[in-house]
Amino acid sequence: MKQTETAGPAGPASTAAAPPQARPWLPWWAGVTAALMLYALYQAWIAAPTEATMGIYQRIFYVHVPAALVGFGVFFINLMASVWYLARRSRAADALAVASAEVGVALLAINLITGPIWAKPIWGIWWTWDARLTLTLVIWIMYVSYLVLRQFTPHSELQPRLAAAYAMFIFVAVPVDYMAIRWWRTQHPQPVLFGGPHSGLAPAMLYALCVGFAAYIALAATLLRLRYRQEQLRHRIELRRRARALAE
C-alpha cells in the first residue's frame, strides 16, 4: 500500500500546488466491486431458490451473514495490525488498525440492522437479548468506542499504544460471538455452515452465499484501502503541522 505523493492527474487550479493522491487502482476496484455486488443481488433475489419454511424472508440471509462474517474478518485484521503496531511501532500498522475498525463497524451495522428486519416476520419480535444478538451489539459498541477513544485522545505516542491494547481486549469477544450459537441455546438459529451433520445449504443457496461473500470481501478491501490511505495522509499533515510549529 505504498503511497505516492506527487504522481497523479493534474488537479483543479486551487490545488495546483498539491497534486491529488494517485488512485489509479480505484476505478478498477470500484468497478469489480460494483459488478460483484450486482451479481450478488441477482443471485440473492432471482437465482437462489425460495426456502421452504421462511419463504422469501430467508433471502435477507444473503446480505446478513456475509456482512457479519466479513466484518469479523476485518476486525481480525484490526487485531493483527494492533499486534504488529505493539511489536514494531509501525505507523502503517496503526493506520491499518484505524481503517479496519471503521470498515468493520460499517459492516457490522449492516448485520445489526438487517437482523431485526429479518427477525420481525419470522420470530414475531424485533430483538431478544440472547447470547448471539447481545454479543454482536456489544462488539459493535466496543469498536465504536475504540474509534471514539482514538478521535478524542490527544495525538501522541501513547494514543496508538492504548488503542492497540484496547483492540486486543475487544477482539476476545469476536470468537465467543461466533461460537455463541454452538455453545448456548439461543433464539438465533443454529449455524447452517460448519454446524455439524444437520447443517448445510442447497448447492444453489450455497453458491449465492459465496457470491455474497465475494462481493462483501471486495467492498471491504476497497473501503479498507481508501481509509488506510486517508490515515496515512492525515499523519503526513500532522507531521507537517508539528514541524511548522517547532520552526515557529
Partner 1 sequence: MVSVVAAFSVAWIVTTIYVFTLGARQRELERAMAALRSEDDEG
Enumerate binding residues for partner 1 (CB under 8 A).
14-15, 17-18, 20-21, 41, 44-45, 56-57, 59-60, 63-64, 67, 106, 109-110, 113-114, 117-118, 120-121, 219, 223, 226-227, 230, 233-234, 236-237, 240-241, 244
Query: Which stretches of the chain are DSSP H helices?
Result: 25-42, 61-88, 91-123, 131-152, 158-171, 173-183, 203-247
The distance of closest approach from Cβ of residue 125 to partner 1 in the complex, given in angstroms and rounded to an integer, is 13
* 88 or 236: CB nearest partner 1: 236
The distance of closest approach from Cβ of residue 234 to partner 1 in the complex, given in angstroms and rounded to an integer, is 6
Cell numbers given for 146: 475504540
* 86 or 221: CB nearest partner 1: 221
Cell numbers given for 209: 452465499
The distance of closest approach from Cβ of residue 169 to partner 1 in the complex, given in angstroms and rounded to an integer, is 25
| Residue 68 contacts residue 111 (beta carbons within 8 Å) | yes
Helix (H, G, I), strand (E, B) or coil at 74: helix
Cell numbers given for 18: 498539491
* 31 or 175: CB nearest partner 1: 31
The distance of closest approach from Cβ of residue 110 to partner 1 in the complex, given in angstroms and rounded to an integer, is 5
CB atoms within 10 A of CB 26: 14
| Residue 106 contacts residue 42 (beta carbons within 8 Å) | no
Burial of 95 (0-12, 13-18, 19+ CB in 10 A): buried
The distance of closest approach from Cβ of residue 129 to partner 1 in the complex, given in angstroms and rounded to an integer, is 21
* 56 or 202: CB nearest partner 1: 56
* 81 or 219: CB nearest partner 1: 219
